[in-house]
Amino acid sequence: MEIRPAEHLWGKTVSETEDALLEETDPKARVACIGPSGERLVKMASIMNDKHRAAGRSGVGAVMGSKNLKAVVIRGTQKVELAEAKQMRDLCRTVRQEVIADVKKGSSLHEYGTAYVPIVTNELGILPTYNFQTGVFEDVEGITGVVLTEKYLIQPKPCFGCPIACGRHTRVEGPEIYSGEGEGPEYETIAALGSACGIGDMAAITKANYLCNDLGMDTISVGMTISCAMEMVEKGILPADDVGRPLRFGDAEAVLDLIRQMAYREGFGDLLAEGSYRLAEKYEHPEFSITAKKQEFPGYDPRGSKGMGLLYATSNVGASHMAGDLAYMEVFGTPKKLDPLTLERKPWYIKHFEDLFTVIDAAGLCVFLSIRYLCDADYEVAPTRMAEVLSLATGADYTAESLMQAGDRIYTLERMFLIRAGFTGADDTLPKRMLEEPLPEGPAKGHVVELDVMLPEFYQLRGWDEDGVPTDAKLEELGLARQSL
């Protein structure tokens, strides 16, 4: 291991940084780095690897920037030893054959990547539109996977050995203001930088995605922060003079300009770089920030997907679908369909999915494959096959039950960290819009999130008291000691 000075890299974009480091070290190495936004401690700065892949949420890029750490470069040369190599190969072959069979039957994820999702969420009335003022976007046909595939796709971009190949290698050749090449956009980017900002042009969204990647920023928080500013300008709360330009929903050129300003903390971008909550709070209207624990919502309006509302409120990292994405069942019916508008058993499912996703993260597995192929397709979504995979890889004797307990332990430990940092049960909440302003149209018209009904049951299932603090009995059950936390 070696620590090297990075003065010559400071200020460079993600692509410039990676190109320079591969030339200096080893062209077969892999790079994780930050862009200009991470250097400037932008609240939604990402850690980027392979130029286009992001550890995107919660401002982890700003953490690297605060340490004056520009990049980490690694080249692995040793063989990965498996405890039961033959059995693992056989299991992987079986799973791969199942995936290939599903792809051959027709897979929207394979054909369009996650860009197929806007049509689904729009039909359900939960596509974030105009800063979550509604869940139906009149220009949705312009931001679908069909448009991305027919106009801009060069080729699918799979992770190693994956037949689904949901990644997209794309190119926009014109108009010039939108031209570029890279990966994406994914669904969350389309929702945040598209419908949430009132933009129905896939070329503009794709360019905004390229910019965020190269400058090293989370597309979700960037788009939702700009959409918050757009609503406040249109409602006369935020003066256009403060922005430095006119700002209205649908203004794609303004979005591109503001992305650059955010990354470099220039002009109004310096305030946008703090995120939508601090922006709205500055103008004394925090209710226009659609956040939980000050992190911007991803692409599912929880008024029409009630379990997602409970997830956003209770997630340890703030609003995040990847902390326990019950949209798999509420929206996509995978592995089974749940009524998105009912409250029945939603606290149980969210607790279960939070623990399950914690295990998936800790094991470094793909969520798409894990939910579809490594969990039982029964009502309880047990990770039986996942336990088998981890047992064959490590030699440990995992079961579905022991994995779920491990997820519970990790999640509870994270919660205790938050409590020690000053968070309380009062932080397990949602914006006023989600709790008091019903969706105005679509299948979920008239619905809000009944968080007050679901939260007490969720606390009880987790073994937390009425203030959201894990009880001594729960800590003992999980082998955690309060005094050490």
Closest CA to 135 of 8, 345, 305: 305
State residue 379's pLDDT score.
66
Q: How far is CA 327 from each of CA 127, 348, 352, 353, rounded to the nearest angstrom?
A: 12, 15, 13, 10
The amino acid present at 474, given as its one-letter code, is: K
Residue 378: predicted pLDDT:
73
What's residue 1's pLDDT? 86
- Whether the CB-CB separation of 478 and 412 falls below 8 Å is answered with yes
Please tell me if the domain spanning 108-295 has the same topology as the one spanning 301-484.
no
Q: Give the pLDDT confidence of 137-157 residue by residue, as tens digits.
A: 999 999 999 999 999 999 999
- CB of 438 within 8 A of CB of 446? yes
Tell me how far apart the alpha carbons of residues 257 and 278 are, in angstroms, rounded to a whole number.
Answer: 20
How confident is the model at residue 335, as a pLDDT?
87
Q: What are the residue boundaries of the structural domains of the chain, listed by start?
A: 14-74, 108-295, 301-484
d(CA 381, CA 361) in angstroms, rounded, equals 17
Residue 341's pLDDT is 98
Topology adopted by domain 301-484 = 1.10.599
Report the SS3 class of residue 63: helix
Taking the C-alpha atoms of residue 368 and residue 334, their distance in angstroms, rounded to an integer, is 10
d(CA 475, CA 324): 22
Residue 366's pLDDT is 94
Task: Divide the 485 residues of the chain into consecutive groups of 10 and give the mean pLDDT of each group.
Answer: 95 98 96 98 97 94 98 94 96 94 91 96 98 98 96 94 93 94 97 98 98 98 98 97 96 98 98 98 98 98 98 97 95 93 97 97 94 85 94 96 97 96 96 98 98 98 96 95 64
Predicted confidence (pLDDT) per residue in 352-367, tens digit: 999 999 999 999 999 9
pLDDT score recorded for residue 483:
63
Amino acid at position 145, single letter:
G
Count of CB atoms situated within 10 Å of the CB of 1 = 3
> How many residues are recorded in the chain?
485
What is the model's pLDDT at position 469?
Answer: 96
Tokens of 95: 């799973």
Element (H, E) at 311: helix 306-314
Q: What percent of the chain has pLDDT over 70?
A: 99
- Residue 377: the pLDDT is 74
DSSP string across 372-412: HHSS-SSTT---HHHHHHHHHHH-----HHHHHHHHHHHHH
Question: Which amino acid is it at 48?
Answer: M
What's this model's pTM, rounded to 2 decimal places? 0.95
CATH number of the domain located at residue range(s) 108-295 in this protein: 1.10.569.10
